[in-house]
Copies of this chain bind each other. A is one copy, B any other.
C-alpha cells in the first residue's frame, strides 16, 4: 500500500532528475493530462458494450499504462500548485454526499439538479 504522497515524490523526483520542471507550467501539464485521458478513451472508441468488455481484458496492460500517465500528470499538477490531493478528494466526496444523498440518488443517473 503506497501513499499518494510517496507516489507524488517518485514522480517529482523522476522529473527533477531530468530538469523538466522548466517545461511544466500548469497549462501544458493540463494539456498533457487531457491528451492522456484521451488515450484511455481511444481504447474504447467505436466499441459497443461487448467490445468494451473485450477491450478491458485484451488491452488491460495498455489501460494500466495510460491510467498511470493520467495519475502521473495529476500528481505533478497537484504538487506544483501546492494542492493536497488526498484532502481534495475527501472534500469532494463530502461535497458530493450532500449533492447526492443516498436516499435520493440511489440507483438514479440523474444530475443532482434533477433529483
- Measured CB to CB, the residues of A under 8 A from B are 1-7, 10-11, 14, 17-20, 22-23, 25-28, 30-35, 37-38, 40-47, 49, 52-53, 56, 60, 63-65, 67-72, 74, 77-78, 81-86, 88-93, 95-97, 100, 102, 105-107, 109
Chain B residue numbers with a CB within 8 Å of A90 are 10
Known A-B contacts A33-B41, A102-B17; A83 and B96 likewise in contact (beta carbons under 8 Å) = no
The docked-state distance in angstroms from the alpha carbon of A107 to that of B22 is 8
A/B interface sample: 15 pairs, CB < 8 A: A1-B4, A2-B3, A2-B4, A3-B3, A17-B106, A28-B45, A33-B40, A34-B38, A56-B81, A60-B81, A63-B83, A68-B91, A69-B92, A71-B85, A71-B89
Known A-B contacts A100-B18, A102-B18; A88 and B70 likewise in contact (beta carbons under 8 Å) = no
Chain B residue numbers with a CB within 8 Å of A84 are 64
A34: contacting residue among B4, B18, B40, B65, CB under 8 A: B40
